[in-house]
Structure 1
């Protein structure tokens, strides 16, 4: 097993932030600055065109750390952030820009591109989880969750379907086309958000993906507005969801 290498560290407002790399994949781990004891871990997935330090990732991480005492970690998806784009990435981006300029549906471009990213990213996330669970403040038997919307869902659904250590997940805003088979294998508690007036992902598509999850406990959060109007209070709801399903930090290291 390859080792996690921490490359930078800082602390502020009760949150310890550590940059890391694993086999060339860069990521960030946020933790309670106090280091009081073992705590659950939430893996996060960023959206398309974003990166590990996008404001949404930093904001979610701080909510999870300060609100629950959890650890939160995210990696740059292939072709995003500090990872170079491949020729395939460049071609897909060009096709997406052309479709957007022509007013054509984005799904036929985004769905296969995200499916390819998931093929690459799922093994990376599982390797990162292996390495993070070697840290004494996380541990091999600690609870693990996953949160990611949009592209974070395209990667997260196959990840959660393949990874039994993840016991609760938050998804949203993604086409179902490449995800239905994986969603049908997921039985852990799910919270799912969609925008009722999403101009990119039809309402029926989001509902089809939600319906496909085999989870006995799953909640649908439908908010008015378009794709970019996703309300920030859903991040607060996700934090409460993980507090219910992952528990709280322990008072001392195991």
Structure 2
């Protein structure tokens, strides 16, 4: 891991890094690192999207550290011809009103296969900087990558997930027993309600909580972010 920049303001230290050819960001409190929460960004976004910097700010204010990687084909990483084809298919389906789920599941499954080993290598390096318990927080594509990562990675002890289709993740979810907080939109125009419930139901976790909010896919309430921080405080502890 090679740190390429460092800035500090308002009690938050932000360090950008590269791990091989994978770029990422690590945020820590100025007073010293707290428990680490890995952040998975959404499809079409990147490591410093406002959703990521906003969640990182909430986590650091509560005493946590946070880290995010650009997913394959996102942010500062080049897109392959296959990435371009899949994105074009998704955009066409949304423009014509066709179901987008099968395309997203297929493409995000491919992204997860590439991203999980990268996250494991990053976690190896990050634990030198931020030892201690680890959580994972990812919605949408962040869940598509997060579920296989959590199933493969015993260092992750709690996860906030949600808003994804079930078919490619159910079998992996059945292997997961850590505490889960799961968000869904009751009126989601892309993910059928029964599909979101099926994925939540599949987790084998003795402690799991479903947060179902009224509204469409992109109307997840902002207060769910604060709830996720409280969830991590319960299960990872804070300094």
TM range (shorter): over 0.9
* CA RMSD after TM alignment: 0.7
Unmatched tracts of structure 1, length 5 or more: 250-254
**TM superposition score normalised by structure 1:** 0.93
SS of 1:91 mapped into structure 2: helix
Distance 2:87 2:76 in 1: 17
Aligned to 2:114: 120
Deviation, 1:210, is: 0.1
Deviation, 1:101, is: 1.5
Corresponding position: 1:24 with 2:14: no
Unmatched tracts of structure 2, length 5 or more: none
Aligned to 1:58: 53
| Equivalent residue in structure 2 for 1:10, among 7, 13, 20 | 7
Instruction: For residues 182-241 of structure 1, give each alpha carbon's deviation from its aligned partner in whole angstroms, at most 9, with x where no partner exists.
Output: 100000000000000000111111000000000000000000000011101000000000
Moved over 2 A (4+): none
Aligned to 2:91: 97
Aligned to 2:127: 133
Corresponding position: 1:214 with 2:211: no
Q: Does 1 or 2 have the higher relative contact order (CA < 8 Å, sep 6+)?
A: 1
SS of 2:218 mapped into structure 1: helix
Deviation, 1:96, is: 0.8
| Equivalent residue in structure 1 for 2:235, among 242, 245, 254 | 245
Deviation, 1:12, is: 1.0
Distance 1:217 1:160 in 2: 15
SS of 1:21 mapped into structure 2: strand
Aligned to 1:197: 187
Distance 1:100 1:169 in 2: 29
Aligned to 1:230: 220
Distance 2:92 2:38 in 1: 33
| Equivalent residue in structure 1 for 2:73, among 51, 58, 79 | 79
